Amino acid sequence: MSEEFKLELTSRPRRLRAAASRRALVEETLLSPADLIAPLFVVDGAGKPEAVESMPCVFRLPVEQLVAECRELYELGVPAVALFPCLEASVKDEVGSAALDGNGLLLRAVRAVRHEVPELTVITDIALDPYTTHGHDGILTADGTDVVNDATVEVLAKMAVLHAGVGVDMVAPSDMMDGRVGAIRAALDDAGGTSTAILAYSAKFASAYYGPFRDAVGSAAAAGKPPLDKRTYQLNPANRREALREGFLDESEGADILMVKPAGPYLDIIRDLRGQTDLPVAAYQVSGEYAQIHAAAERGWLDLCSARDESLLAVKRAGADMILTYFARNVAEGRSRA
Ligand code: PBG
């Protein structure tokens, strides 16, 4: 190419990328710890934190360590945590009775966190999978092939009232039963829980990316069995209009925030919801999204921190106001190396 070759260009977008200071000025999306919600796993007993093998740097925490983790997260600028109980097999049964145990592990954990870190926003999941022997999110039909909708919703509403009673700020129904947001709103209001918000898992897809989470809470199918099939209640990954329909239903039933889950593979759904509702939109970067970045980084195939930030930025750019992510602490610590 000759030295004199020159394009007659009116636009040279590269002018604004020429230096870091100029790139900073034109940056459109900012990722901040204030946008993040840390999912945390709690276990009974006073033992040591247990590593979750398929989720590097994630631990099942006894209550005391959970409280310490919550305090540190809050001090680092992470405003909220989502708590999940990991119960021993002996506490689980077919119908998830332990979900209504007023002195169960999760409620004890919430009381402790509420007391020690009062300003932190505490979110709990409303679904039966951590409590059932089969790992489904609700009560099964007699032949065990499906989850019964209305009977499950009845339990979920009671569960939400229990959670609100110990000071949970937001309940997050993650079960995908029909009508559960309305039933939970009504039950909360009846019980005086008008200030408890509902973060609805509105568009929760039947995803392959939940595998590591199911290991963490012990809701995976038994070894040697095929993975749990939740397609009669979770959304078909092929369906975009149906996801929006679920979002509108949850909004009309009184949800305060609509959530899309998983996040990265469903950016179009986040974008669609953002454009069609005035409610805040949340996204859940799930265990499998987290694990795949870690796994590639362990092999030296990806840079962990760059891939972490890019994956989260994409979710915000798509329109999420807040993101549940297992990277929350790591991001808030401002780590550029894990
Ligand atoms: C179940 C629930 C799941 C997750 C959060 N709540 C898994 C499932 O539907 O089996 C997954 C979160 C993750 O993968 O990080 N109610």
**175 closest CA partner among 189, 160, 187:** 160
Q: How far apart are CA 268 and CA 243, in angstroms?
A: 11
pLDDT of residue 1: 62
Q: How far apart are CA 152 and CA 178, in angstroms?
A: 10
DSSP per position, 70-92: HHHHHHTT--EEEEEE---GGG-
Read off the pLDDT band of 220 (50, 70, 90): confident
Quick one: residue 176, left, alpha or beta (phi over 0 = left, psi -120 to 50 = alpha)?
left
pLDDT of residue 333: 96
pLDDT of residue 337: 47
* CB-ligand 1 contact for 69 (6 Å cutoff): no
Q: How far apart are CA 72 and CA 330, in angstroms?
A: 12
Mean pLDDT for 198-215 is 96
Q: Would you name the residues annotated as active-site residues?
A: 204, 261
Model confidence at 217: pLDDT above 90: no
pLDDT of residue 219: 80
| Ligand 1 center–CA 86 separation, angstroms | 12
pLDDT of residue 225: 76
Average pLDDT, the chain: 96
Mean pLDDT for 223-241 is 91
Q: How far apart are CA 334 and CA 77, in angstroms?
A: 11
CB under 8 Å to 31, separation ≥6 — which residues? 309, 312, 313, 316, 331
Read off the pLDDT band of 3 (50, 70, 90): confident
Residue with tokens 């679904």: 127
Residue with tokens 């939400």: 160
Quick one: residue 53, left, alpha or beta (phi over 0 = left, psi -120 to 50 = alpha)?
alpha
Give 71's Cβ-side CA count (13 Å radius). Answer: 11
pLDDT digits over 92-123, tens only?
A: 999 999 999 999 999 999 999 999 999 999 99
| Ligand 1 center–CA 175 separation, angstroms | 9
The Cα-based distances of 86 to 6, 68, 73, 166 in angstroms read: 65, 18, 21, 19
Read off the pLDDT band of 227 (50, 70, 90): confident
Q: How far apart are CA 139 and CA 124, in angstroms?
A: 19
Model confidence at 46: pLDDT above 90: no
pLDDT of residue 336: 62
Residues 23, 41 contacting (CB under 8 angstroms): no
* CB-ligand 1 contact for 213 (6 Å cutoff): yes
pLDDT digits over 124-177, tens only?
A: 999 999 999 999 999 999 999 999 999 999 999 999 999 999 999 999 999 999
DSSP per position, 26-74: T------GGGEEEEEEEESSS-PPEE-TTSTT-EEEEHHHHHHHHHHHH
Domain spanning 30-337 has what CATH number? Answer: 3.20.20.70
Model confidence at 222: pLDDT above 50: yes
Q: Taking the domains of the chain in order of start, what are their residue ranges?
A: 30-337
| Ligand 1 center–CA 221 separation, angstroms | 13
Model confidence at 241: pLDDT above 50: yes
* CB-ligand 1 contact for 125 (6 Å cutoff): yes
Among 137, 152, 213, 214, which is best to mutate for testing ligand 1, by the most ligand atoms less than 8 A from CB?
213
Mean pLDDT for 3-23 is 96
* CB-ligand 1 contact for 132 (6 Å cutoff): no
pLDDT of residue 226: 78
Mean pLDDT for 173-194 is 98
